[in-house]
Chain A
Amino acid sequence: MAVKMHILVCGGTGCSASQSHEIVDELNKELVAHDLTDFAKVVVTGCFGFCEKGPIVKIIPDNTFYTRVRPSDAKEIIEEHIIKGRKVQRLLYVAPDTNQSVSDSKHMEFYKKQLRIALRNCGFIDPENIEEAIARDGYAALGKCLTEMTPEQVVAEIKKSGLRGRGGAGFPTGLKWEIAAKSRPGEQKYVVCNADEGDPGAFMDRSLLEGDPHSILEAMAICGYCIGADKGLIYIRAEYPLAIHRLQVAIKQAREYGLLGEDILGSGFNFDIELRYGAGAFVCGEETALIHSMEGKRGEPTFKPPFPAQSGYLGKPTNVNNVETYANIPVIINKGADWFASIGTEKSKGTKVFALAGKINNVGLIEVPMGITLREIIYEIGGGIKGGKKFKAVQTGGPSGGCLTEKHLDTPIDYDSLVAAGSMMGSGGMIVMDEDDCMVAIAKFYLGFTVDESCGKCTPCRVGNRRLLEILTKITDGKGTMEDLEALKNLSAVIKDTALCGLGQTSPNPVLSTISNFWDEYVEHVVDKKCRAGQCKALKKYYIDPAKCKGCTACARACPVSAISGTVKNPHVINQLDCIKCGTCVEKCKFGAISIQ
């Protein structure tokens, strides 16, 4: 009997952290117990994207989508769904707007507006089984390139597709390959995959590598064929153990199948891939810094030119692309550049993967066509703001990007519109913030990150960002002046103009974009000494409502700095100068008389 049903269990980092492996074990146990191993099969896949409701279990062929599954649910899934064909209602996804359960994932708002090109195999295949990748056209594009196309034709196809680098800056990929192909012909060259996803709050590359490692290997081999390289290197964060494991398995299997190594598919083309591990430095996402790190050195960037295409790894011509960029390559070859170029906007073709996180109902990994609006992403795919709160801003581009606000909600998203709005595409982190988030504190958070991660080589970044952070701290401590706001703007402009690498040049962006979009909040902090989100501790004021205070003295006795005065049965008063804003009094008050202003 052939296997008729597949039970897909998400084995991504998010779901694994919620015991998805125990679910797999339990499901397998139940299948054995009911003698169903020939009828149904459990498959551990990559990320489904809907991390908010993980762990996810999906049943094929009927596309039933079970959410927040626990190991103890395995018995019911097997006995009810697999044996009797009755869906387990209590585990189905419930649409927040209609309160109805949705059984088929195709009808979920979260997936309706998505278009999965880079993520085409994530959540569909077992990433540790090369045959499942091959069954979904894996390595077909490599075969086509090697047997039917010249390297020039492949480069021309990629150029025609309009694909731009997905790592952040958006440089045209075909052009990059062409430059590397023409650089110093006949010499040893290298193909590098940048998987050093350092942007906090972004997990696109991790999910891609965990869910579909073979498409990256295939694309790197295609790139090697185009530029004349026989060696590929993947620079991956050591913090991603699962992705590393899946890559190691994939490389081994590809070698066994003759899809990596010597004389691939009998074409005479040789290509092999090795892994290089990062060690936790954000700046290594910058390509010159990444190359130095791969050479075993400190990951400090160097001035461009020379570009890596001229002199890269070990001084040889090197092509560096991001994981998501590579993931698009095989599809472009298989379906054609015209098909790819028909998706997206005039200057940004195809789709973009975003890691949607923060104060949003549906946290997860999404892939959408370029040109979609923020409103569609946040309110339709994302299901709106958590707890019915008010949307305030969305941060894109990580520490190098900026905040977009309500007025940008209907702007079509592409590389150029985001830059025009004062942010950038970046690698695809998208953090949603609500009315409880203080924008000055957010700018301070990012600057703190940049100061930690600055490599220290150039003065504008090393010293300038530290000064920016000091000024921001002064403001959140309630000691800022209007002159400080001017200084923030001036210093930011200088850093942007003078820093050596992309990290430094973009580091003031979070400050500049919050200043331009939330100027009122800065002024409130400085002039009124007030934080409307109530996040800046130093600006909080605790206040006792004399009408509610019974004079029980509980607060005065609990106050660690004796800042509360008053006599028994009479309303108490907080001395603001002594108060350290610890909040102990609020906890002790049984009458709800103490509030924060």
Chain B
Amino acid sequence: MCGPQIKISEANYLKIKEICASFNNEPGELINILHKTQEHFGYLPEEVQQVVADCLGIPVGKVYGVVSFYSFFTMKPKGKYAISVCLGTACYVKGAEKILDALKSELKISEGGVTEDGKFSLDVLRCVGACGLAPVMTINGKTYGRLVPEHIKEILAEYAD
């Protein structure tokens, strides 16, 4: 099953097997399995996808096809604090791009990037459904609303541990 090219630890290998087994190794549950797996690892590197494919008895290309199709899945690790800026229409017309620009220049990374120390990652998403608070961003799921670019420094300072 587990080919020699796979470089993940025995414990992680068993964890993936356990997740797949909890869904009866059913290929129809692939998306639910990937959700659980990403919850555990934080991202879905190639090696992890290979193990999932083996467990479900499907080609790894099929797993990769699903991972790359959906924006919720990522093959790159996120920062310790994952920042997502909403670029839904309501936020866009209320200046979300300026918030994104402020974050980019403050963190010195671009969209999809991670700071060198691995602390922050920056992504955009489409609508968290809190349009009344537009423009909004989330940091590890916590929502910050009614933002102006001047807030950014202050908010990032909350994470200065």
The CA of A29 and the CA of B126, in the complex, are separated in Å by 37
Taking CB as reference atom, which chain B residue is nearest A50?
B132
A residues near B (Cβ < 8 Å) are 13-14, 16-18, 51-52, 54, 197-203, 206-207, 238-241, 276-282, 293, 295-299, 314, 355, 357-359, 363-364, 395, 398, 429, 431, 433, 437, 442, 445-446, 449, 455
Task: Find B93's partner among A238, A240, A431 (CB 8 Å cutoff).
Answer: A431
Q: Is the CB of B70 within 8 A of A429?
A: no
Task: Find B69's partner among A52, A197, A202, A299 (CB 8 Å cutoff).
Answer: A299
The CA of A241 and the CA of B39, in the complex, are separated in Å by 13
The CA of A398 and the CA of B127, in the complex, are separated in Å by 12
Q: Is the CB of A203 within 8 A of B127?
A: yes
The CA of A297 and the CA of B66, in the complex, are separated in Å by 6
How many inter-chain residue pairs (CB < 8 Å) link A and B?
132
Task: Find A281's partner among B32, B69, B88 (CB 8 Å cutoff).
Answer: B69
The CA of A442 and the CA of B89, in the complex, are separated in Å by 9
Q: Is the CB of B134 within 8 A of A279?
A: no
Taking CB as reference atom, which chain A residue is nearest B28?
A296
Q: Chain A contacts of B143 at CB under 8 A?
A: 13, 16-17
Q: Is the CB of A280 within 8 A of B90?
A: no
The CA of A285 and the CA of B159, in the complex, are separated in Å by 36
Q: Chain B contacts of A364 at CB under 8 A?
A: 132
Taking CB as reference atom, which chain B residue is nearest A17?
B143
Q: Is the CB of B32 within 8 A of A17?
A: no
Q: Chain A contacts of B30 at CB under 8 A?
A: 296-297
Q: Chain B contacts of A395 at CB under 8 A?
A: 89
Give residues 105-150 of B contacting A (CB, 8 Å): 125-134, 136, 141-145
| Residue of B88, B94, B129 with highest tally of chain A CB at under 10 A | B129
22 A-B contacts, Cβ less than 8 Å apart? A17-B142, A17-B143, A200-B87, A200-B88, A200-B92, A200-B127, A201-B91, A201-B127, A238-B72, A241-B141, A280-B70, A281-B70, A281-B71, A293-B31, A296-B26, A357-B134, A364-B132, A431-B89, A433-B93, A437-B93, A445-B92, A449-B126
Indicate whether B7 reaches chain A with its CB closer than 8 angstroms. no
The CA of A277 and the CA of B88, in the complex, are separated in Å by 20
Chain A min CB distance to B49 (Å): 14
Q: Chain B contacts of A207 at CB under 8 A?
A: 129
Q: Is the CB of B129 within 8 A of A197?
A: yes
Indicate whether B4 reaches chain A with its CB closer than 8 angstroms. no
Q: Top 5 closest A-B pairs, CB basis? A: A51-B132, A200-B88, A17-B143, A279-B70, A201-B89
The CA of A431 and the CA of B134, in the complex, are separated in Å by 12
Q: Is the CB of B129 within 8 A of A429?
A: no
Q: Is the CB of A357 within 8 A of B35?
A: no
A-B contact sample (10 more), CB < 8 A, given A13-B128, A299-B69? A14-B133, A17-B145, A200-B87, A200-B127, A203-B130, A240-B129, A298-B65, A357-B132, A358-B94, A437-B93
Taking CB as reference atom, which chain B residue is nearest A243?
B129
Indicate whether B18 reaches chain A with its CB closer than 8 angstroms. no
The CA of A55 and the CA of B17, in the complex, are separated in Å by 44
Q: Is the CB of A282 within 8 A of B133?
A: no
Flag B3-36 by CB within 8 Å of A: 1 or 0 each.
0000000000000000000000011111110110
Q: Is the CB of B133 within 8 A of A398?
A: no
Give residues 28-64 of B contacting A (CB, 8 Å): 28-32, 34-35
The CA of A150 and the CA of B70, in the complex, are separated in Å by 42
Q: Is the CB of A296 within 8 A of B127?
A: no
The CA of A446 and the CA of B88, in the complex, are separated in Å by 10
Q: Chain A contacts of B129 at CB under 8 A?
A: 13-14, 197, 202-203, 206-207, 239-240
Taking CB as reference atom, which chain B residue is nearest A201?
B89
| Residue of B32, B89, B91 with highest tally of chain A CB at under 10 A | B89
Of the four ranges (under 10, 10 to 19, 20 to 34, 35 or more), the interface on chain B belongs to 35 or more
Q: Chain B contacts of A297 at CB under 8 A?
A: 30, 66
Q: Is the CB of B70 within 8 A of A17?
A: no
Indicate whether B73 reaches chain A with its CB closer than 8 angstroms. yes
The CA of A296 and the CA of B142, in the complex, are separated in Å by 29
Taking CB as reference atom, which chain B residue is nearest A284?
B70
Q: Chain B contacts of A449 at CB under 8 A?
A: 126
Taking CB as reference atom, which chain A residue is nearest B69?
A298
Give residues 75-102 of B contacting A (CB, 8 Å): 87-94
Q: Chain B contacts of A52 at CB under 8 A?
A: 132
The CA of A299 and the CA of B26, in the complex, are separated in Å by 18
Task: Find A203's partner among B26, B35, B131 (CB 8 Å cutoff).
Answer: B131
Q: Chain A contacts of B136 at CB under 8 A?
A: 17
Chain B min CB distance to A238 (Å): 6
Chain A min CB distance to B33 (Å): 8
The CA of A198 and the CA of B32, in the complex, are separated in Å by 19
Q: Is the CB of A201 within 8 A of B130?
A: no
Chain A min CB distance to B44 (Å): 11
Q: Is the CB of A358 within 8 A of B89?
A: yes
Q: Is the CB of A357 within 8 A of B28?
A: no
Q: Chain A contacts of B90 at CB under 8 A?
A: 200-201, 357-358, 363, 431
Q: Is the CB of B69 within 8 A of A455?
A: yes
The CA of A445 and the CA of B129, in the complex, are separated in Å by 18
Chain A min CB distance to B22 (Å): 15
Task: Find B31's partner among A18, A197, A277, A445 (CB 8 Å cutoff).
Answer: A277
Q: Is the CB of B29 within 8 A of A363?
A: no
Chain A min CB distance to B130 (Å): 5
Q: Chain B contacts of A200 at CB under 8 A?
A: 87-90, 92, 126-127
Q: Is the CB of B71 within 8 A of A279?
A: yes
Taking CB as reference atom, which chain A residue is nearest B127?
A200
Q: Is the CB of B125 within 8 A of A239?
A: yes
Chain B min CB distance to A322 (Å): 15
Taking CB as reference atom, which chain A residue is nearest B27?
A296
Task: Find A279's partner among B29, B35, B89, B94 (CB 8 Å cutoff).
Answer: B35
Q: Chain A contacts of B34 at CB under 8 A?
A: 279
Taking CB as reference atom, which chain A residue is nearest B141?
A241
Q: Chain A contacts of B134 at CB under 8 A?
A: 357, 363
Chain B min CB distance to A330 (Å): 24
Chain A min CB distance to B8 (Å): 22
Q: Chain A contacts of B35 at CB under 8 A?
A: 238, 277, 279
The CA of A201 and the CA of B28, in the complex, are separated in Å by 31
